[in-house]
Structure formats: C-alpha cells, structure tokens
Amino acid sequence: MDIFAASPAGRRILMGLLTDMADVLAAPQQLRTDSALRTLTGISIAHWVSHFHIFVLPMLFPFLKQQLGVGYIELGFALTVFALVSGLTQAPIGYLADHIGARKILLIGLCVGGLALIGLGAHLSYPALIISAIALGLANSVYHPANYAILSAHMDEARMGRAFSVHTFAGFLGGAVAPAIMAALVAWIGGLGALMVAGAVGPLGALLLVIMGISDAGAAKDRPEGAEKLQASVMTPAIMVLTVFFTLLSLSNAGIGNFGVVALMGGYGASFSSANIALTAFLGASAVGVLAGGFLADRTHRHGQVAAACFAVNAAIVVVIALVNLPSTILTAAMGLAGFLGGVIAPSRDMLVRNAAPPGAAGRAFGIVSTGFNFGGIVSPLLFGWIMDHNLPHWVFGASAVFMVLTVVLALVTDRKPQASEARAVA
C-alpha cells in the first residue's frame, strides 16, 4: 500500500477508491433518510386531509340547513353519528392495520372519506347526510392507527418526537385552513360543488401516497416470529390508563375550543372580537407548541413528566382565567400561553403510547387510546352545553382546569417507569 501510494497517480487512485467506499457506506443511510422523509411527508398529507374532512360538514351547516330544511339539532345529530362511528371502529381498524398492513388501510380510508362527500354532493338529502357521516366516521377511524403504526416503524428513533409533532401539526393545519377553503369553494362553485371538490381531495391524496411509495407497517408477513403472542396482550393497564388520559385531554381542550368564546362573552363581558382573538391565540399557539414539543420529546425519555409539568402550568393559567376578569391583552396572552403548553405535550403524549404498545401492535394501541378523543368529543358538547345553559360560564374554564389536573395525575402514573427499552428488548 505504501509503494502504491508513493506516486501521485497511485495516490489519486487510492483516494478515488476511498471516496467510492465512503459513498457505498453512506448510501444505505442516505436511502433510509430519504425513505423516512418521504414517509413522513406522505403521512402528514394524509393527516391534513383527515382534519380538513372533519370540518367540511360543519362549515357547510348554513347551506345544508337551507337546502335540507332541517334545524341545527338534526345537523348536530350527524356530527354525533360521525363521532360514535369513529370511536367504535378505531380499535378494530387498529387490529386490521396490524394484520393486513397500515398502508392499505390508510389508502382505503382516504378514498372512503372522499367518496362519502362526493356522494352527498351528488345526491343531497338528510338520509344521505347521515350515511355520509357514517362513512366519514369510518374513514376518520383509520388515520391514527395507520399513521402512527407507519411512523413508529419507519422513523429514526432519535427523531421520533419531531416526526410525531410534524404529523400532528399537519392535522392542525388541515383544520385551520378548512373554513377559508370551504368558503371560497361555496362562493365559486356553490355548496354541492364544494362538497364534491372537498371529497375529491381524499382519492387524490391516496393516489399521491401511492406515487410517493410510502412505507408499510404491520402486515402479517413483516411481523417477527412470535409477534402474535405478544399482540394478544395489547390491552394492558398502561394502554387503558392512556385511553382515559386521551379522554381527559379531549375534554379539557374541547371546553375551551368550542365554548370559550360564548363563555368569555357571557361571564366576563368580553366583546365578540376580543373573545375570538383570545381563542385564535389559543388555537394558533397550540400548533406552534406542537412543533416545539417534538424537539423536547426527542431530548427526554420521561414523556409523562413533560406532559405533567406542561399541563400543571396550563391548569394554573386556566384557573386564573376562570377566577379573574383579565384585560383583553392579558387574556389573549394567557390563552396563547395555555394553548402553547397544550400543544407542547402532544408529541410526548404520542411517545407515551408508542412506548406502551407491545411490538407489532402500534396500530391497535393507537386505535384503542384514540377512542378517548372520540368519547371526549361525544361528552364535551353535552357537559359544557349544560354548563352554559345553567349560566355558569366561569365553569367552562373551571371544569377544563379540573380535567387538566386529572390529566397531570394520569401522566405521572404512566411515567412511573421507562417502558420503551423493555418493549424493544422483548422485540
């Protein structure tokens, strides 16, 4: 080698060989990085579509009310049907994702949700609205089990929290832009056309994911030997506690998100504009907090403690809002800080579920715990509506603070010992 490297020509050849070897060694890592980025992009697009579709029907309530000749109770019943179907089918869909492949389930969900809206636009009637709500609920039950199963299997462990945060942020963004998009579509092509175009986003999204070639997870052929035995124990105490944890998260956020404006106006003398600005600060800061929480989740293994600390401070802020009539500027700042802290815990929340899931059962685990969101979505309108009907607007924030305190307790319970290393060791 010394003789070979002595001449300039030999050194050039040697350096060329070393460069080629480095490229060969780096190629697998680069391929893995490209595949992970492509998968995260595709899954985030799917999550954007899911949240966009959730808001399509509520944004068209004035149009649907006029065209169908029904009241808001009948329209609200359609949303209740959506929430019930989504909640009841999440766990079974998670089971399917783990057994036949999460990618296949995800593509079917995108198409079913889109076709539900297209069908409603093609044949508008109240029975068709209920059928569409059922199909949308079934489609919505796909995203959490399938998305998280794929992300858990293919994202770099050191960047898992950030991957979860980008995925969650994409969903927030889909819901945030839905009102503007639907308003523009209605003004441009009318309500029926808006339904069809919004529906077409689903199959187009599925086609895009196929073209991108996103990775799969959970298919029977890909599971390690003995995984069936491990999957039988997915209904663990940790998973059940996390399901309650998700329910409390939903209840604490839904009260402020859905009834915060009317509570501020009815109990604190806030104007419509100032109340809406405060709620906008809460929701906007939540999205920013999700991205920040991803970096935090990647720098700690004590995800329960992160969630507990953020929600403890959050609860204190909400208690102050409940008890004190704050000036509008301070109120907006307080709501923004509360929203930011609520967003920060989202990636840590997802990491808790991933760490508690047995190997090969991420789809089922996320499917089960996500029913907590649906249960909260069913209960919260009744609970907080009852609070407002009894002229107790301060308790919109007071009850939210109570749910936050309970969430803190459960977060600490789920973080009593590290679970990720144990689960990976068993795998």
C-alpha pair distances (Å), 79 with each of 86, 90, 101 = 10, 17, 29
Q: In which band, very low, low, confident or very high, does the pLDDT at 221 lie, cut at 50, 70 and 90?
A: very low
pLDDT > 70? residue 254: yes
The letter for the amino acid at 357 is A
| Residues 202 and 344 occupy one common structural domain | no
pLDDT band at 8 (very low <50, low <70, confident <90, very high): low
To 10 degrees, what angle do helices 102-122 and 8-59 make? 40
Output b/e per residue, 94-121; b: 16+ Cβ within 10 A: bbbbbbebbbebbbbbbbbbbbbbbbbb
Label residue 32 by pLDDT band (50, 70, 90).
Answer: low
Distance, in Å, from the CA atom of 164 to the CA atom of 196, rounded to the nearest integer, reads: 31
Domain harbouring 78, CATH code? 1.20.1250.20
| pLDDT score of 22 | 45
Domain residues for 377? 230-426
Residue 399, pLDDT above cutoff 80: yes
Instruction: Confirm whether 40 is domain-assigned.
Output: yes
Question: What pLDDT, on the 0 to 100 scale, is given for residue 113?
Answer: 96
What number is the average pLDDT over the span 123-144? 94
Secondary structure letter of residue 157 according to DSSP: G
Residues 294, 209 share a domain: no
Q: Is residue 4 part of a domain?
A: no
Q: Is the pTM of this model over 0.85?
A: no
Q: Is residue 2 included in any domain, yes or no?
A: no
Domain check: are 239 and 207 in the same one? no
Here the tokens at position 406 are 């309970």
pLDDT band at 115 (very low <50, low <70, confident <90, very high): very high
**274 and 331 in contact (C-beta within 8 Å)?**
yes
**Residue 240 pLDDT more than 70?**
yes
More confident site: 107 or 363 = 107
Mean pLDDT, residues 278-289: 84
How far does CA 134 lie from the centroid of its chain?
20
Q: What is the pLDDT of residue 197?
A: 97
Q: Give dist(CA 16, CA 49) in Å, integer.
A: 48
The residue among 93, 127, 87 whose CA lies nearest residue 119 is: 127
Are residues 294 and 403 located together in one domain of the fold? yes
Confidence of residue 11 (pLDDT cuts 50, 70, 90): low
**Of 368, 277, 264, which is closest to residue 325 (Cα–Cα)?**
264
Output the average pLDDT for the chain. Answer: 82
**419 within some domain:** yes
- Burial class of residue 36, CB neighbours in 10 A (0-12, 13-18, 19+): middle
Half-sphere exposure for 213 (CA within 13 Å, toward CB): 2
Residues 183 and 272 in one domain: no
Question: Is 26 a residue whose pLDDT tops 50?
Answer: no
125 Ramachandran zone, left/alpha/beta (phi>0; psi -120 to 50): beta
Do 132 and 173 reside in the same domain of the chain? Answer: yes
Q: What is the number of structural domains in the chain?
A: 2
Average pLDDT over residues 96-111: 90
Domain match, 312 and 213 both:
no
Do residues 251 and 190 both lie within one domain?
A: no
Q: Which of 222, 256, 273 lies at the terminal end of a domain, its last residue?
A: 222
- List pLDDT tens digits, range 300-342: 778 888 888 888 999 999 999 999 999 999 999 999 999 899 8
Residue 10, pLDDT above cutoff 60: no
Q: How much of the chain exceeds pLDDT 70, in percent?
A: 85
At residue 150, does pLDDT exceed 80?
A: yes
